[in-house]
């Protein structure tokens, strides 16, 4: 397969995972928060008394909300209930260890006072920077900040979906300069930010910019050593995205797990990854009328455990309201997840793939470099017997409940490296964790 490799100028520049401390910290985060906030939070999915069926943050692209009406939302951006410390406290209580915040979504409205466009918070009634208090508050709470940035910008006159004429090309050159300026500006203004989360990079116009984007990425990485950039920033010179034409991941982690999770370790090809998830079906920005199934905290905890068990992180989205407050349903879910995390975070933080065969009772995670495996139980077997298959040359030294280490569990080896662990915890309304301390076996 290696012999088949073609020479790429703008493909991936690394094979295998990053090993530096910043990336190791990111990898061990386990749980993150996503924030989608911008002008779209003001209509909240509704215009002229009519409910929009799509994602609320896309309302501008919806014909029933005319562009001038959307554009003038800037004069209504006055989030009097915005409190950065409170947002950070909600994330902290939930157990999130990083946050990705929309500095600019597709609409082009900037939550920071960018010098390069007038479509920013500075020209809203609020006037003040939103990103600075957020970066400071989350940082103070010990939560790493990643800056979400949409390349596609519906507000910029130079943005094109494709480049077909000379006029398009001239316009897009201006747009590229603007994009570079904004990114350098963000990295300069918010030196605490650990990474960039790119979006809106799927159009032909941007896919054709392999050289420009590759050089810009190098420039950003030089400006901020250790910067984390996912696979959704650039395409290679053949237009391949996420994975280059040699099928090697571009960027530091796979950014394609959008409202879906991998099912097996083979699905993630040995790469770092995170999954971004909405609480309702597909609403990122604030939508006042959530429809359909709203995920429960148990489902979200299950997704977190599943993500970690397959070597990834789970990032849960919040869409604050136009006034800056966070809706009660989101606050309640964050608290419920946090209650579980307070007891069980040992099975989530700095954990990854355990190497164990998947069993019906749930997901197993493993601490890096420590001989501990965590069985995160979602389906309690009626028998009380939990099947566990360990990798070769390992044995169970001891087993107990994470919530109550005095409850030592009976363990029985039934075949070589194959065990039953017996647990009959009194009625459980939430998933729980069984710890396996393992040891080397001759």
Number of residues counted as binding ligand JFZ (CB under 6 A): 8
Q: Nearest to residue 314, comparing CAs of 264, 271, 353, 273? A: 273
> Whose Cβ is closer to ligand JFZ: residue 203's or residue 346's?
203
> Whose Cβ is closer to ligand JFZ: residue 313's or residue 438's?
313
Phi-psi category of 45—alpha, beta or left, where left has phi over 0 and alpha has psi -120 to 50? left
Do 353 and 376 meet the contact criterion of CB atoms below 8 Å apart? no
Is 203 a residue that touches ligand JFZ (CB under 6 A)?
Answer: no
Is 214 a residue that touches ligand JFZ (CB under 6 A)?
Answer: no
> Whose Cβ is closer to ligand JFZ: residue 104's or residue 372's?
104
* Residues 94-153 within binding reach of ligand JFZ (CB under 6 A): none
Coil vs helix vs strand at 130: coil
Is 258 a residue that touches ligand JFZ (CB under 6 A)?
Answer: yes
| CB within 8 Å of 58: residues ≥ 6 apart | 40, 106
DSSP string, 16-56: S---SHHHHHHHT--EEEEE--SGGGTTTTEETTEE-SS-G
* Residues 43-72 within binding reach of ligand JFZ (CB under 6 A): 55, 57
Is 91 a residue that touches ligand JFZ (CB under 6 A)?
Answer: no
Q: CB of residue 4 vs ligand JFZ: minimum separation in angstroms?
A: 27
> 386: which strand partners?
421
Among 109, 284, 363, 400, binds ligand JFZ (CB under 6 A): 284
Q: 171-205 as b/e, with b when 16 or more CB fall inside 10 Å?
A: bbeebbebbbebbebbbebbeebbbbbbbbbeeeb
> Whose Cβ is closer to ligand JFZ: residue 87's or residue 284's?
284
CA distance linking residue 406 with residue 119, whole number of Å: 59
Is 199 a residue that touches ligand JFZ (CB under 6 A)?
Answer: yes
Is 40 a residue that touches ligand JFZ (CB under 6 A)?
Answer: no
Is 235 a residue that touches ligand JFZ (CB under 6 A)?
Answer: no
* Parallel, antiparallel or unpaired: strands 362-367 and 372-377: antiparallel
Token pair 């749930």 is found at 362
Q: CB of residue 282 vs ligand JFZ: minimum separation in angstroms?
A: 8
CA distance linking residue 327 with residue 329, whole number of Å: 6
Q: CB of residue 197 vs ligand JFZ: minimum separation in angstroms?
A: 8
Is 256 a residue that touches ligand JFZ (CB under 6 A)?
Answer: yes
Is 274 a residue that touches ligand JFZ (CB under 6 A)?
Answer: no
CA distance linking residue 12 with residue 27, whole number of Å: 20
> Whose Cβ is closer to ligand JFZ: residue 256's or residue 381's?
256
CA distance linking residue 335 with residue 187, whole number of Å: 32
> Whose Cβ is closer to ligand JFZ: residue 58's or residue 378's?
58
Is 281 a residue that touches ligand JFZ (CB under 6 A)?
Answer: no
DSSP code for 278 = -
Q: CB of residue 408 vs ligand JFZ: minimum separation in angstroms?
A: 44
> Whose Cβ is closer to ligand JFZ: residue 160's or residue 372's?
160
Site string for ligand JFZ, 381-420 (x = CB under 6 A): ----------------------------------------
> Whose Cβ is closer to ligand JFZ: residue 20's or residue 258's?
258
- Site of interaction with ligand JFZ (CB under 6 A): 36, 55, 57, 199, 256, 258, 276, 284
């Amino acid at each position: 397969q290696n012999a088949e490799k073609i020479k790429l100028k703008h493909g991936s520049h690394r094979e295998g995972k990053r090993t530096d401390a910043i990336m190791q910290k990111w990898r061990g985060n386990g749980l993150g928060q996503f924030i989608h906030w911008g002008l779209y939070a003001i209509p909240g999915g509704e215009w002229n008394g009519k409910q929009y069926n799509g994602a609320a943050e896309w309302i501008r692209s919806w014909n029933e909300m005319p562009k001038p009406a959307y554009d003038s939302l800037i004069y209504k951006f006055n989030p009097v209930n915005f409190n950065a410390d409170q947002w950070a406290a909600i994330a902290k209580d939930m157990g999130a260890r990083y946050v990705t915040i929309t500095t600019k979504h597709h609409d082009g409205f900037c939550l920071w006072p960018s010098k390069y466009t007038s479509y920013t918070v500075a020209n809203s009634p609020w006037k003040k920077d939103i990103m600075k208090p957020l970066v400071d508050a989350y940082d103070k709470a010990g939560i790493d900040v990643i800056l979400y940035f949409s390349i596609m910008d519906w507000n910029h006159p130079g943005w094109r979906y494709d480049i077909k004429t000379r006029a398009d090309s001239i316009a897009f050159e201006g747009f590229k300069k603007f994009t570079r300026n904004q990114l350098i500006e963000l990295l300069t203004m918010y030196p605490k930010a650990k990474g960039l989360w790119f979006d809106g990079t799927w159009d032909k116009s941007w896919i054709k910019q392999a050289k420009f984007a590759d050089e810009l990425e190098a420039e950003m990485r030089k400006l901020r050593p250790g910067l984390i950039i996912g696979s959704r920033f650039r395409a290679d010179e053949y237009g391949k995205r996420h994975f280059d034409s040699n099928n090697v991941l571009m960027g530091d982690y796979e950014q394609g797990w959008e409202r879906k999770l991998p099912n097996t370790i083979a699905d993630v090809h040995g790469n770092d990854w995170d999954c971004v998830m909405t609480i309702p079906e597909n609403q990122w920005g604030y939508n006042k009328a959530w429809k359909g199934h709203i995920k429960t905290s148990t489902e979200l905890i299950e997704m977190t455990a599943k993500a970690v068990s397959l070597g990834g992180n789970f990032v849960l989205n919040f869409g604050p309201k136009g006034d800056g407050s966070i809706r009660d349903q989101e606050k309640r879910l964050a608290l419920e997840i946090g209650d579980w995390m307070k007891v069980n975070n040992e099975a989530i933080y700095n954990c990854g793939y355990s190497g164990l065969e998947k069993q019906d009772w749930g997901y197993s995670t493993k601490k890096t470099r420590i001989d501990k495996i965590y069985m995160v139980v979602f389906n309690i077997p009626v028998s009380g017997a939990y099947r566990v298959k360990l990798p070769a040359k390992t044995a169970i030294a001891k087993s107990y409940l994470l919530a109550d280490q005095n409850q030592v569990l009976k363990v029985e080896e039934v075949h070589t490296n194959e065990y039953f662990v017996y647990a009959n915890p009194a009625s459980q309304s939430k998933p729980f964790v069984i710890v396996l301390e393992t040891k080397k076996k001759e």
